[in-house]
Structure 1
Amino acid sequence: MIKLKNISFLALFLVTLGGCQHREGIQAASGANEISLENLDEKAMSADHVNREAEKTVEEKIIKTGSFRYEVQDLDKAFIFLNETTKKNGGFIENDNTTNQYGTQTRNLTVRIPSKNFDRFFESLNKEVSFFDNKSISSTNVTAQFIDVEARLKTKKALEVRYLELLGKTNKMTEIIEIEKSLSAVREDIESVQGQMNYLKDQISMSTMTIEIYKRAPAGTGATESYFSKIGNAFVSGFNSLSGFFISIIELWPYAIILALIITFVRKRKWRRTNLKNKSDGQA
């Protein structure tokens, strides 16, 4: 009887000890899970922090443009200055147009300058020109647009790679046709987005300036043409007018022929009536 009680007590002790160890194991496992979740939260917070820092460190994308108009005494010298200043700042003249009307000679230039040298170019121009008829400078922040286009381009290229992988894994003709159709559409999108990206990069890296320089003709210069020269010009102008008149008449030859036929027909008809009337009078 005493042995039975001892055995029962020992069994109860072992069960109690096992239960305690089981609870400790559960708590330990639960603690491990909590640590794992905390680590995930820390990683997520760290990733968010890195993304925010990346957004902060993105270099601003600025498009700079300028528009200037001013009078000069010598167009050629003014152009030489602009051309030399442009080259010194690593730029080039994209367009150059000259017009001469109403006694004013004008030269319109489109100048492209690296954005980093925009201010230096403007300082040189400002020192050279004493007065601007028009001076306009603008800066447009396109950072958000640039990031958006860049993200779209990366997405489209990743999609292209995925389609190529799928194309290499299938042997079914219907699937191949569908994938190639989708691949073609994605590549068209890539070309379009790439074009937008190239345009933005060009506008960001190279500033655009439109410069108009002009020179007024001195007062009284309209009478510099000699008297005999005016007579000669008048003679030529009159001859051209007369030639134009004769050419216009020649162009009307079909109508002249028709008019001549009508006149001939009317005269013959009138002549016949006159003869018939004379005959009838003679018989009477």
Structure 2
Amino acid sequence: MKRTLAATAIVLAALLLAGCTSSGSSDSSGPPVSDGGGVTDGGVSGEPAPDKGVTGGEVIADNRDVITTGTVSLTVKDPIKSAQSAADITQEAGGRVDSRSENPSTDGQPASANLVLRIPADELDNAVIELKKLGTVNKVSLNATDITQQTQDIAARITSLQTSVDRLLGLMAKATDTTDLIAIESALSQRQSELEGLQAQRDYLADQVDFSTISLELYSEGTVSPPNPDNFWDGLVAGWNTLVSALSGALVAVGFLLPWLAALGAVGGVVLLIVWLSTRKRKAA
């Protein structure tokens, strides 16, 4: 009897142990549970989880979208000629000139030129080096703006709207009731308008990312103050140039005022002559 009870106890213990092991294995390796709407914890049922392009919660650096803008200011001998050289450098880099204005020299204004250059992002560094060779650098400023999150959001919204448009087109093909058809057409028109707006925004941002925007300013010599000198000789040269510029400005001012001074002197002389004659007549009387 004791042997029978012992054997029965051993069998029950083995069955309990096997049940616990089977339950633990089922919890750890079983399929994901559906929420009843065809969606599982891995994404839409029957479809792989979308690739979000992230690693450890961060966007992969190689997939970043960056807009680069900047300003390059140069002092050159001939701004008009240098403007053409800058346009040639841009075209050789595979870019384009979006705007260009040239101001030839006049009696009261030195020559200058301004260009807006669109340069491929991967050629920007080399193009800036070539632009610096056109003259003396007054200023170079480059700014980079990361718009990766914005472009990803727009892409996701475009995908969602495109799916909605396709679904509405399918419903429109099957619609038989006039009321339903009108409702579908109204919704479809709204979705297509939103989709076209997002696609235009996506294309604009893609162009800004692919082509950096550089504002190039070209000035004649002596019209822009040079950078602060770094040593004694540079300071001496800068001081001499400043003195010459000041004297030149003073001479121009004197030349401008001389005709006015002469006219005022003549008027003053006539007034003094009238006063003197009037005083002399009174004394004679």
Structure 1 length-normalised TM: 0.59
Higher RCO, Cα 8 Å, sep 6+: 1
Equivalent of 1:175 in 175, 180, 192 = 180
What is the correspondence of 1:105-120 to structure 2 with a 5 Å cutoff?
105-120=111-126
Question: Which residue pairs with 2:64 in the alignment?
Answer: 60
- Partner residue of 1:128? 134
Q: 1:145 to 1:29 in 2, by over 3 A?
A: same
1:249-271 deviation digits (Å, cap 9, x = unpaired): xxxxxxxxxxxxxxxxxxxxxxx
CA apart distance, 1:66: 1.5
Match of 1:142 in 2: 147
Equivalents in 2 of 1:55, 1:83: separation in Å? 36
Cα gap change, 1:51 to 1:113, in 2 (>3 Å): closer
Deviations 1:116-163 (A, max 9, x none): 10111111123333331x322111111011101111111111110111
How far is the alpha carbon of 1:83 from its aligned partner?
2.1
Corresponding position: 1:103 with 2:100: no
Say which SS state the counterpart of residue 136 (structure 2) adopts: coil
Change (3 A) 1:192 1:68: same
Cα deviation, residue 36, structure 1: 5.0
**Equivalent residue letter for 1:169:** K
1:140 counterpart letter in structure 2: T
**Structure 1: tracts of 5 or more residues without a match:** 1-18, 223-284
2:75 to 71, 76, 80: 71
The 10-residue stretch of structure 1 (57-66 or 209-218) with the greater mean CA deviation from structure 2: 209-218
SS class of match (1:104): coil
TM-score of the aligned structures, taking structure 2 as reference length: 0.59
Alpha-carbon spacing, 1:163–1:57, altered in 2? closer, same or farther (3 Å): farther
Which residue identity is paired with 2:142? I
AA matched with 2:135? V
1:79 alignment partner, SS class:
helix
Structure with greater proportional helix content? 1
Query: Runs of 5+ in structure 2 lacking a partner?
Result: 1-11, 34-40, 224-247, 253-285
| Structure with bigger gyration radius | 1
Q: Which moved more, 1:157-166 or 1:52-61?
A: 52-61
How big is the shift at 1:84?
A: 2.1
SS of residue matched to 2:63: coil
Query: C-alpha displacement at 1:79, in angstroms?
Result: 2.1
Give the number of equivalent residue pairs. Answer: 201
Contact 1:105–1:216 (CA<8 Å) still a contact in 2? no
Q: For 1:201 and 1:49, locate their aligned partners in 2 and report how far apart those are by CA, in whole Å.
A: 21
